[in-house]
Structure 1
Amino acid sequence: MNSLGMSIGATQLVATDGNPDGVPVVRSSLLTLHEDQPSEVGVPKEPGLGLAGFVDRVGDPVGIVGADGSVHSADWVMAEAIRIMIADAAVVANFDSPPALAAAVPAYWGGHSIAALRAAIDKVPALAPGGRPMKLVPDARAALVSMRDRIPDHGVVGVCDFGGTGTSMTLADAADDFATIGQSVRFRDFSGQRIDQELLALVLANLNQDPDRTASLGALTRLRDRCRAAKEHLSTDTTTVIPVALPGLTSDVRLTRGELEERIREPLSALITTIQETLEYNNIAPARVAAVLTVGGGSSIPLVTQQLSERLRCPIIAAPHPQLAVAFGAAIMAGQPDETPSAEATMRSPEATMLRPIATGEETAKSPASAPLDTVESGLAWSESDTSPELQEYEDYQDYSTPTTTARPEVTFSPAPDDYRDTAPMRWFQRPVLWFFAAAVFSAAVFTALFIAWQDRDEAPAPSNRTSTTTTATSTPHP
């Protein structure tokens, strides 16, 4: 059966077929809308209205505001990006029949986000070729499926997905067809974007002179892209050179793998500590961990594998193509029978994740989170160049628009209990009010004594400075 799988990342989208020799479609998580041509995913060929940051906003009732002031639902933007990626991957694969589709959603998503994306995808006929709707599967499970032949068949297996905005950690039971154990944990302090920023700061610090303060954002963005490329080079090479071209400054900066490792050692250590705490929280002894699978771009850094192996004391399995493993696993799961557990079937309860209750059925379809918040002509958002009859243009865009005044739902907080600590009552001499009163009385007594003493001094007679003169009269004796 023909199949296409897709991975959804905060900074990168990947679509591929189930063929190991196939050509994947890899794009940045950026959707660009054009007035006179089809929309694009990734770096646009022509300027247009760019929409980014939608992956982590799926399920948010507040839309994404474009540069022109228009507002777009993140659910709609995500569904449109998926449609374009699947259409491009289908052209590359050149299938002769409609493929089965599956998209791997982030493991850290809650049930509300999954339900919102499900509702948005169900409104896109192109994402149900041959009448089969696209599956939504957990990305951690897709990664394990793609590496099944190298994963132990017993014990606990961990999956570390080193992404652009954070690292996700998921535990699975290898003996129970990779059933998820507990909840996935998201660690945002170790991410591809943070490493890029650290390298950018290192490059700027190594310059012989300060760059012009008026350096444009575009110049710094291009330099950060070079830092990202340098990070990838340092995964295989020990040194690399980054060309710097800023206003008033042109130079080459040499970086070594040791400098990169020094910058990431502290957040990496904190990440591994979090993994150990997650195992402890789920009552999993270190000896029960059979292996840890690493995927995502950051897993290619040698220090990551080294530190994981040293501290977790278990085999570390690195995917040969870490950025493609999840999408490849999703393609495999797309062609499997429908009994395969989906993301909807394994979604976490709102009580466990402290999320809002999950809307289903008609409530989900009518939710403002699954509709665009502003009216945009269909020509701006939907590609008209799809040649496959199964990838037709989506025509129901206007039917579920909502006013731009849609606000966030009211949030209320329950008051905390008055007595939430089991503490012994304070003894009488430990009460701060008593000590304050005693100090006040003592201060008043001292002040009164000093005042009385000063008054007594003022009322005492002052000594005279005049000298008294005594006159003695001499008497004359009478004759």
Structure 2
Amino acid sequence: MAAALGIGVGSVNTVAAVDTDGASVTDAADLTVLSRASVLHLSPDRAPVLGDDTSEPDAVTVSDFANRVGDPVGILTDDGSTYSGEDLVATAVSCIVHQAASGRHGLPTTVVAHPTVWPPYTVGVLADALEQAGVADATLVSEAQAVMTWLERTRGTLGDALTVIYDLGGTSLDITLFRSDAHGTETGVLGKPVRSEDFGGAHFDHATMQYVLGNVAEEFGDIDPFAPDTVAALTRLRTRCTAAKEALSSDTEATIGIELPGISTDVRLVRSELEDLIRESLQESVTLVRESIHAAGLESSDVTQVVLTGGSAAIPLVAELLSAELRVPVVAAERPGHTAAMGAAL
């Protein structure tokens, strides 16, 4: 039997969840997860490569395409070529399908999760692009559907419930209210999903980097911030700040190495300091959740539970603030950034 494969293409990572034995998958524990950076390396005479690492130094690198599906303005690359967002997303899906299928007989049965806020037109545009990219039999489902499938398979029958899906990714926050009932007759998204680009992991990375640089500001001297060496060093530093932020989801402290022209030192960052940097932003996101509930004609007391998804939702302070505000259980996978892909596979 062909493997079942669930895929989510995010602004930072493309995630695929595939069953390990090719049998009908019924439990999230049966899934193997692949995660690749949402970065494509394109060459005119070679197959595209998805991820950070590439052995094709002459390839054109393109990123930031996940949120450009249906955008009439193409994405311009360094070699002067222009690609549509949907074609790049479809290419990323094709790449990870073939990676997941490596060593198996036949291509997997593929389900692709898309943002719940997408209108039918955008979903149709991606469906057409997937067919052109050779992923013709893929089924498209909303991330809300995928997440709720994961929730039911891991937590049991939901019954009568109102679930808030809090999806905090790399560049945005999506809030969806999902109504379920014991009979399954009135199950689905309630009201209008909300997307805000005022919140996301990139904002937290920027705040972390500002904090780190502030610790060595007196050592800057005459550094030229626009010099190529400085720009490259700052890019590496931002990557380290991102890694430290992610590490602090499970660790209590992290060390960030700074290598700038004339500066070589380490800055220690503890979880409480990171929380101080992002607390105000996260509190504003909780306010947006409350406003979304009220906009649907409901009260916070109507909410049964919150499900956290998206890579940045792994930050412990997220669950703490939402739990304190809504006073309901807050549920999350061990890796919230994998939830939609796992639900798609299930």
Task: Report the TM-score, using the length of structure 1 for normalisation.
Answer: 0.65
- Would you say 1:41 and 2:41 are equivalent positions? no
Cα 1:21–1:150 shift into 2, 3 Å = closer
Distance 1:96 1:33 in 2: 27
Distance 1:266 1:110 in 2: 31
- Would you say 1:146 and 2:160 are equivalent positions? no
Distance 1:316 1:88 in 2: 33
Distance 1:300 1:60 in 2: 30
Gap regions ≥5 residues in structure 2: 21-28
Structure 1 segment 196-345 matched on structure 2, within 5 A: 196-207=205-216, 208-210=218-220, 212-213=223-224, 214=227, 215-332=229-346
Name the structure where strand makes up a greater proportion of residues: 2
Tell me which residue corresponds to 1:57: 68
Gap regions ≥5 residues in structure 1: 333-479
Which residue identity does 1:169 align to in structure 2?
I
Tell me which residue corresponds to 2:17: 16
Contact 1:12–1:27 (8 Å) recurs in 2: yes
Contact 2:69–2:126 (8 Å) recurs in 1: yes
Which residue identity does 1:16 align to in structure 2?
A
How much does 1:121 deviate? Answer: 1.3
Tell me which residue corresponds to 1:379: none
Contact 1:32–1:44 (8 Å) recurs in 2: no
Structure 1 segment 372-387 matched on structure 2, within 5 A: none
* Candidates 95, 109, 119, aligned match of 2:118: 109
Contact 1:166–1:186 (8 Å) recurs in 2: yes
Distance 2:256 2:236 in 1: 11
Tell me how many residue pairs correspond in the alignment.
325
Cα 1:27–1:236 shift into 2, 3 Å = same
Q: Secondary structure at the match of 1:122?
A: helix
Percent identity for Structure 1 against Structure 2:
35
Distance 1:144 1:245 in 2: 44
Distance 1:108 1:204 in 2: 36
CA RMSD of aligned residues (A): 1.7
Distance 2:210 2:237 in 1: 11
Tell me which residue corresponds to 1:29: 38
Distance 2:326 2:42 in 1: 46
How much does 1:95 deviate? Answer: 3.3
Distance 1:50 1:71 in 2: 12
Q: Secondary structure at the match of 2:344?
A: helix
* Candidates 161, 170, 173, aligned match of 1:164: 170
How much does 1:36 deviate? Answer: 4.2
Distance 1:108 1:10 in 2: 15
Structure 1, residues 293-340: CA drift from partner, whole Å, max 9, x if none?
Answer: 0012212111111110001121111212212111111111xxxxxxxx
How much does 1:156 deviate? Answer: 0.5
Tell me which residue corresponds to 2:188: 179
Task: Report the TM-score, using the length of structure 2 for normalisation.
Answer: 0.89
Q: Secondary structure at the match of 1:184?
A: strand
Q: Secondary structure at the match of 1:13?
A: strand
Q: Secondary structure at the match of 1:324?
A: helix
Structure 1, residues 401-426: CA drift from partner, whole Å, max 9, x if none?
Answer: xxxxxxxxxxxxxxxxxxxxxxxxxx
Contact 1:220–1:246 (8 Å) recurs in 2: yes
How much does 1:284 deviate? Answer: 1.4
Contact 1:18–1:328 (8 Å) recurs in 2: no
Which residue identity does 1:8 align to in structure 2?
V
Contact 2:31–2:342 (8 Å) recurs in 1: no
Q: Secondary structure at the match of 1:235?
A: coil
Distance 1:15 1:263 in 2: 32
Q: Secondary structure at the match of 2:328?
A: coil
